[in-house]
Amino acid sequence: ETAHNTTMQDDKPRETDPKIRKLSDQVINRIAAGEILQRPFNAVKELIENSLDACSTSIKVQIAEGGIKIIQISDNGNGICKEEMALVCERFATSKLRKYEDLKEMSTYGFRGEALASISHVAHVSITSMTKDQPCAYKAFYLDGKMINNPAISSNTNNNNPLKANPNNDLHHNKSNSTVEPKAVAGTRGTTIVAEDLFYNSLSRRKGLKSAGEEYQKIVEVVRKYSICNPQVSFS
């Protein structure tokens, strides 16, 4: 009888809250990011396409721990001007589309402006870029689609090699409503994007990833395919 009663109780429908509520922007953006980025190679794919759309002739891909720890893409493309760096990681901010009719003549890989936004919601992102008309490069840091203050970097960090950045950096404490400006730095024409700690805020997504070796092989496959389709571009 006791077992029977337990079964009957387990069969009862769980109580739920029937009220309809609007999801917060944070939840919406993380869901959207999960639809675009399922594994590290998806992020690499999106960043390579951005570099190709920027008319790059040289693209360098650097990976740490299968792209889970660090993804760094450097190119010699058109670059991003200082005035546009605040928008670059916001959803639906794009240089490739102005009106709906433009879709008929679209010749770029991407156009919606969601790739960098999605990456910034599941990774710590920094962007260094220089256009041909700028006297120097500019660097900015991003979190959840917004440009944030420069995170604390350990004194022994090599600024010329983002792959050696302090892995314990926590960008959350730098979120602020105060005005944030890109920092002038030395650089060359083009853009370098670094995404650290991919899926740091989604434990279930991280657990679903393959080993670092397997993720690395998927990235190699993506780079190989784009290099074959774009023989005019140097990949390394």
Q: 214 forms bridges with which residues in the sheet? A: none
pTM confidence score: 0.75
Cα gap 165→45, rounded to integer Å: 23
The whole-angstrom distance between residue 46's C-alpha and the CA centroid of its chain comes to 8
Q: Which amino acid is at 8?
A: M
pLDDT tens, residue order, the chain (236 aa)? 445 554 445 555 555 667 887 777 777 666 666 666 889 999 999 999 999 999 999 999 999 999 999 999 999 999 999 999 998 888 666 655 555 565 566 656 665 557 888 899 999 999 999 999 999 999 999 999 899 997 754 333 444 454 444 444 444 444 444 689 999 999 999 999 999 999 998 888 888 899 999 999 999 999 999 999 999 999 99
Cα gap 61→72, rounded to integer Å: 6
- What is the DSSP track for 118-143? HHHHHSEEEEEEE-TT-SSEEEEEEE
Q: Write out the two tokens for 151.
A: 């995170």
Q: Write out the two tokens for 234.
A: 């140097």
So what's the pLDDT on residue 117? Answer: 87
Q: pLDDT tens digits for 65-102?
A: 999 999 999 999 999 999 999 988 886 666 555 555 65
Q: Which amino acid is at 34?
A: G
Strand 146-148 versus strand 183-185 pairing type = unpaired
The DSSP H or E segment spanning 232 is none
Cβ atoms of residues 79 and 134 within 8 Å:
yes
Cβ atoms of residues 74 and 96 within 8 Å:
no
Cα gap 24→77, rounded to integer Å: 36
Cα gap 156→145, rounded to integer Å: 28
Cα gap 92→76, rounded to integer Å: 24
